Amino acid sequence: MRILMVGAGATGGYFGGRLAAAGRDVTFLVRLRRAEQLSRHGLVIRSPQGDVTVAQPKIVFSEQISAPYDLVILSCKAYDLDSAIASFAPAVGPGTIILPFLNGMKHLDVLDARFGPRRVFGGQCVIASTLNDDGTIVHLNNFHSVTFGDRDNGASERAQAVSRALSGAGFDARLSEQILQEMWEKWVFLSTLAASTCMMRAAVGDIVASPFGKETILALLAECGAIAGANGHAPRESTLDGARNNLTMPGSTLTASMLRDIERSAPIEADHIIGDLLARRSGPAPANSVLALAYTHMKAYEARRAHSSGR
């Protein structure tokens, strides 16, 4: 299977690098600056799960793509989705599968509209990684997993082919027969985490230690879960139990990556993660919606950031 990894950053570079090291046919679609780094240093991963160096990774620029790929893996930020689509569109043919590892659901609507639903799988990943100044990918903990499936038929023959391509490459790869349910459950968890930690500018443990902190987090979880239920994907009780435990653990240092983006004055995925979830509720947000308050906080940050930068 010919695989095109869109980007070679902290996420795409990590999973794509392990796939390449395992002998899979992986090409990285990159921009000039990243291409220069990869040419000088190779693709380098530093990880508690084992370091990897791919000395000469296969790279391509968008204008050089001359034939379709079998699998296109997409792991960009939501605010880069349109430019990513423009860059990999020449790689999409009649039999191409597009596997996005973005959070939320809005990206599925965008990809469906551009390429057709049959080409677009559901997917999600769990990884904490970052890209150093020299282009080294640093894996920050022991978690590195991808989950994926055919949205129409989770374990279809096409999904089995993707599973064979991704399995046994040094990270956890799992084919799901109910990928949309799992994506919704992750969205509920992530939205609760992002809304609470961004609004409070603090880690879970600090919020829980504050007056009404635990109650605020649980109210957010209930509100997000209710929206998922209204869309036919109510979180399973076992999933909610795990979320409650992780989101209210005393002393926890857990934060959302969106908070880390705010702390370095970077762009955030407010519309994709929180705004789109609010838009999918069965009615308008009530005046006492904690989720709407968190969204207002994020949009105020974006407005101030735009004003400060003169945009």
Active site residues: 186
What are 120's strand-pairing partners?
98
**CA gap 194, 273 in Å, rounded:** 8
What are 122's strand-pairing partners?
149
Cα–Cα separations (whole angstroms), residue 139 to 47, 52, 129, 185, 283? 5, 11, 4, 24, 41
**CA gap 147, 185 in Å, rounded:** 13
Number of H helices, E strands in the chain: 13, 10
And the tokens for 268? Answer: 């955030």
Residue type, 130: T
**Which residue is associated with the tokens 């551009």?**
114
Q: What is the CA radius of gyration of the chain?
A: 20
**CA gap 272, 24 in Å, rounded:** 32
